[in-house]
Amino acid sequence: VQRLGHSAERVARDSGIPAGFMLGQAGHETGWGQSEIKHADGSNTFNLFGLKAGQGWAGKVAEVRTTEYVDGRPRKVLAKFRAYDSYEESLRDYARLINGSPRYAKARAQTGSVVAYATELQKAGYATDPGYARKLSGAIHSALRAQRTQT
């Protein structure tokens, strides 16, 4: 939260997505910085949100083993993830995804509530983990508490 706070605040001003929501989700997705996605050579991808590199992605990628839930069961799969040159670039790409995709419209409309936002992200298929909304809500609440102690 301390390391990414200023970048998240800048992106929040531009996107309307609360900085604490982005920080909490980044914390959850990276194990609070302990499990960041790396390139094969060990260098950082700066991917804070576990965003995959789908067909429309023209940027850099990293191929990594990850856990996906298929029919409620965890499976290890090889997936391509987006790679960035900075954390702020990752935050901005996340905001573009959430704000630009009709799939996440209900989540965008719920930025006044941590639980509702996380629930709508899960319903929209942001992650395959059946417990994602509960886990994400907890992470966002942790980030918001950390933000309050810094001000």
Give catalytic residue positions: 68, 93
d(CA 60, CA 83): 5
Question: How many whole angstroms separate alpha carbon 89 and alpha carbon 66?
Answer: 22
Neighbours of 100 (CB within 10 A): 10
Determine phi and psi for 36, rounding to 5 degrees: -75, 150
- Residue 81 three-state SS: strand
SS3 of residue 149 by DSSP? helix
CB-CB contact of 36 with 80 (8 Å): no
